[in-house]
Amino acid sequence: MIALEFNFNVLTRDLPVYLENQVKIGLFGSGVGLSLVLGFSAAYACYYLIAVAKKPQLIGGGKKFCEFLREQCPVVSETYYPTFWCWESRVQTLLRPFVTAKPWVTYRNELIRAADGGQISLDWFDNDDSAAYPDPVTRPTVLLLPGLTGTSRESYILHMVQQSRELGYRCVVFNNRGVAGEQLLTPRTYCAANTEDLEAVIEHVYRSSEGAPMMAAGVSMGGMMLANYLGRKGQDTCLRGVVVFSAGWDVFECTASLEKPLDRFLFNSYLTSCLQASVDRHRTVLEKCFDIDHVMKAKTIREFDERFTSIMFGYPTNEDYYQDASPVHRLKSVQVPMLCLNAADDVFSPHHAIPVEAVKQNPNLALLITCHGGHIGFLEGLWPRRSTYMDRVFRQFAKAVIENGSSLRDL
């Protein structure tokens, strides 16, 4: 019995050592495991460099604008290297809010009245410490428009404010009605087709600093609104230039793409719930004009628009609203230099709906298409905390328009 207990103790004591040695010998000592790891790594690196990391495609309606971009914005000609461990479209889209840092920004809030009696919330970053432009009268102003349910606190907005801070510019974020915590005074929110609030904001911001150059940047629905605004106004605008990120150009194609099973599960249902939450916060004002209980039962963005948005803005049908909201129909009328960045793998704005031919017909337009990047993703680098490809495009284009935009006259 004593001998048996001794042998058992020896066996249990030496078993972990034995197994550890066998694993080392079996996987790496023999070289087989190491060869597999190295082989897989080499294959993945080759695939990444051949199929993933590529130069973006620059498409323009005129030679002059494209030459300006290549000279003033070298990022448009550089290879875009998506973060190697998350280059897939949906992963980029989902991870960006979590992996990118949120720079600390202190805003000055301003509420302005709209023509219908409603109020619009503007968040100003005055940049009074600007060394490049110490005089606030001449300090350039950048107007920023967030996405569908976004506010001035979105990471992509904070990054653009940070880039503008470093350039010495002032920023103002246009928050759509009812999303930034302000009270809704009238039964009206916002949509991509109606640009009345945007027109009022641009006029107000310009009057606040008439001696300063002004440009704008819009993200997702904010970009759609900006494009529709420019298409309506032509040359009758104070904006020197516009940059648009991840815009949906054809709303019919965008909603159809988001209704595919996987994308409906990952994105559509969540965004619908965000829209409904905003409506529910202002139920006491909105329920006088809309069937809020019916709106709260919507399962998709399309159903939400059918029950709420299209009705609010007086469209006979939701199809009429989507037709009017699609910027692709107004691109021919844009008379201000506008750069548009889209990813070919963006499920919100599918590749086949990117308006390549329409852009080719207007010398004021340029379209930059990356193979990867997702929707407002454009992550790059090993750990993309501080900056993205989109941030670099914004910074270079903003600086080019503000400081060298005179060369873009008479495109």
DSSP states of 73-125 = -GGGGSPB-B-TTS-SHHHHHHHHHHHS-------EEEEEE-TTS-EEEEEEE
Q: Which of 197, 345, 375, 391 is catalytic?
A: 375
Distance, CA of 236 to CA of 230 (rounded, Å): 9
Q: Strands 141-145, 170-175: parallel, antiparallel or unpaired by DSSP? A: parallel
Q: Which of 346, 349, 372, 387 is catalytic?
A: 346
Distance, CA of 335 to CA of 79 (rounded, Å): 30
Give the angle 42-46-49 at the CA atoms, nearest 5°: 135
Q: Is 375 a residue of the active site?
A: yes
Q: Which amino acid is at 309?
A: T
Q: Which helix (H) or strand (E) holds 56?
A: none
Contacts of residues 63-72 at CB distance under 8 Å and 24 or more positions apart, as own/partner, are 64/363, 64/408, 64/411, 65/337, 65/363, 65/364, 65/365, 65/366, 65/408, 65/411, 66/366, 68/400, 68/404, 68/407, 68/408, 69/339, 69/366, 69/397, 69/400, 72/396, 72/397, 72/399, 72/400, 72/404
Q: Which of 220, 310, 326, 387 is catalytic?
A: 220
DSSP states of 329-382 = GTGGG--S-EEEEEETT-SSS-GGGS-HHHHHT-TTEEEEEESS-TTTT--BSS
Residues marked as catalytic:
220, 346, 375
